[in-house]
Amino acid sequence: MKELSKYPIKPTKSIQSFSYVILSEEHIPECIQLAVDSFEEFKVQPDSIEQWFKQRFAHNPWQKNLPGIGVGIKHNGRLIGFRAMFAQPWWLNGQSTFIAFCANTSVAQQYRGQGLASHLIYHSSQFASVTGSTTAGIITQKAYKKLGYIEVGGISNDFFSLRVSFQGSLIKRFGKLLGSWLGRLLDLSLQVRDTKLRAQPSFYLKECFYCDEQFDQLWEREKHGYHSCLERSSAYLNWRLFDAPTCQLHLSALYDSFSTLRGYAIWHVQHFSDSVSMVVLRDVFYPQRDQTCLRTLLALLIEQWRNQGISWANLEVASPQLKALFTQLGYEAQLSQGNRYQIHSAFPLSSGTVDNWFRSGLDGDYFDYSL
């Protein structure tokens, strides 16, 4: 277990007594216990965090690119804090590489308030040439800024939401018979709104449970249109969605009249009651210059979700092009307290790369737990 270099900011006397180490898979049980003790949701279902560690590290083909599974803090020989780091294959400035994303930063209760989390952030930034987080909170955003992290995409998350159907909400209020009738009536206005997308009539959606060679062909053909994004090879998609999933994700693929794959979307559903649910759009991939493909994909997705009785959709994938389209369509911008997507790079990143970074809900430490 390798000990890490000292923190660049002068530590307090109490912090000098701690040591920082690179963690390996043998430390996973200790990390799980610390996470369960730190987060209320894990106390209810501790198996979910155990599954997450198993899938993200032990079964991660790209983890071998990193020196370990994360960084830890030891005091008197006992692990009292950690920051997990997992590898994701990445496309950056025309080259294939990888990024180490953090997740599940935890410090034992009795050691909090001493700045240990900031030290974990610093040491994790040394874990790879490019490291980051996609769920930075208000407090940690300040620490990220002090340590040289970049707010990717600007000061906002650039997430949007839209009403998909009124039926679920009205069924909850008026009962199934009257609620369904009133909901279908009000949904007509939403269908008129969706005509702005001008969907290509010969295209169709298909739910996929395996990514074949067409997904590789699409990726190789279109990746050069992206400045920076998660690698979307069939190997990665099959691993993340089907071989080692940590929550149920759906893959809707868009095909043209010749059955050629043109794009796809990845999403999951959150249920709030028997009749009210929300879709979270986690990812879309499409040729950057093909607006018809993107618009058709969105139109068919919204129609499918409405037919499934979905009430709302959160669009948690972002880029300048997507932001412009969602704004033009009148979707509601979601307020955010700062940017949760933070990147640290050992080499300079151009403004073009940072501004055009394609942010997906598959990136980084997005909370994929079956809670």
Would you state the CATH architecture of domain 15-151? 3-Layer(aba) Sandwich (3.40)
The residues near 356 (Cβ < 8 Å, ≥ 6 apart) are 226, 227, 228, 319, 320
**For residue 40, what pLDDT is reported?**
80
Mean pLDDT score, 140-147: 90
Q: Could you tell me the residue ranges of all domains in the chain? A: 15-151, 160-335
Residue with the larger pLDDT of the pair 47 and 217: 217
**For a pLDDT cut of 90, what percent of the chain falls above it?**
76
**For residue 137, what pLDDT is reported?**
82
Assigned token pair, 252: 């809707």
- The structure's pTM equals 0.92
**Burial grade of 301 (CB within 10 A; 0-12, 13-18, 19 or more):** buried
**Which of 44-48, 225-229, 244-248, 317-321 has the least mean pLDDT?**
44-48
Q: In CATH terms, are 15-151 and 160-335 the same topology?
A: yes
The tens digit of pLDDT for each residue in 83-100 reads 999 999 999 999 999 999
**For residue 52, what pLDDT is reported?**
86
The tens digit of pLDDT for each residue in 251-283 reads 999 999 999 999 999 999 999 999 999 999 999
CATH number for the domain running over 160-335: 3.40.630.30
- pLDDT level of residue 57 (50, 70, 90 thresholds): confident
**For residue 329, what pLDDT is reported?**
96
Residue with the larger pLDDT of the pair 52 and 359: 359
pLDDT at 203 > cutoff 80: yes
The tens digit of pLDDT for each residue in 91-135 reads 999 999 999 999 888 999 999 988 899 999 999 998 999 999 998
